[in-house]
Chains A and B, each alone.
Chain A
Amino acid sequence: MIRVQAEAFDPGRELSRFAAGRSDIGAVASFTGLVRDSHRGERILAMTLEHYPGMTERELERIEAEARQRWPLDDSLVIHRYGRMLPGEPIVLVATASAHRAAALDACAFLMDWLKTKAPFWKCEETPSGEHWVEARESDDRAAARW
């Protein structure tokens, strides 16, 4: 399931709900991305995520479908926020469920790596010296290319 939303979410509650009532799942893997309070030595006051409504959902659905084709997943969940958020708040949650851990862990890492290089989101940081758009990192491209 894909959810793109402005509202804050509670990763713990989402994960409990994700696995609730399922006794066929042996493994749940998850990743939660949080807003950090500093970047390259500069204090981050807040972060605003812009996205491309419509394309964002399409890309995330495509990435999720790819993961479910590559690994035997029983379920998957991607929640990604947009709008303004403060340090410590969750930005993204990816969860995968499978019979065994290897598929769940690999699919979770794959979903994050592809999401970071393909889903149309852009981060703008608010710092004491002003606002800056975050630059993409080459290490993210390398991480996505390993799959």
Chain B
Amino acid sequence: MRIRYFAWLKQRTGCVEEELDLPAEIETVADLVTYLGERHPRFAEAASGRGVVRCAVDQTHAEPTARLAGAREVAFFPPVTGG
């Protein structure tokens, strides 16, 4: 699965994207956040703040409870600030 990071989350993980083979028990966005937090402690720190880290599964906004089955790309980013 391709994991992408945007805005200041790139600085927290030290990468723009990474390709990961996830263990089968990672079923939801929330599971993935916990898993990625073990790889990147500063991502875990950001994700512990309520609503600070948002997610999109295959380029559609997704809640922590969203399932990852069949997903090819998951992105994490702070709340958007366009316009």
List residues of A whose CB falls within 8 A of some B CB.
33, 49-52, 54-55, 58-59, 80, 91-92, 112, 115-124, 133-136
Asked if B70 CB lies within 8 Å of chain A CBs, one says: no
Closest residue of chain A to B75 (Cβ to Cβ) is: A52
Contact A133 B7 (CB under 8 A): yes
Among B59, B75, B78, B82, the residue within 8 A (CB) of A133 is B78
Closest residue of chain A to B79 (Cβ to Cβ) is: A136
A118 CB, min distance to chain B CBs, angstroms: 7
Contact A92 B7 (CB under 8 A): no
Per-residue CB proximity of B61-81 to A under 8 Å, as 1/0? Answer: 100000000000001011111
Contact A119 B79 (CB under 8 A): no
Contact A112 B83 (CB under 8 A): yes
Contact A50 B6 (CB under 8 A): yes
A-B contact count (CB 8 A): 71
Asked if B35 CB lies within 8 Å of chain A CBs, one says: no
Among A52, A54, A80, A123, the residue within 8 A (CB) of B6 is A52
Q: How far is the CA of A58 from the CA of B59 in the complex (A)?
A: 8
Closest residue of chain A to B51 (Cβ to Cβ) is: A136
Contact A52 B61 (CB under 8 A): no
Asked if B56 CB lies within 8 Å of chain A CBs, one says: yes
A-B contact pairs, 20 of them (CB 8 A): A33-B83, A50-B7, A51-B82, A52-B6, A55-B56, A115-B83, A116-B81, A118-B80, A119-B82, A120-B6, A120-B77, A121-B80, A121-B83, A122-B6, A122-B78, A122-B81, A133-B8, A135-B79, A136-B79, A136-B80
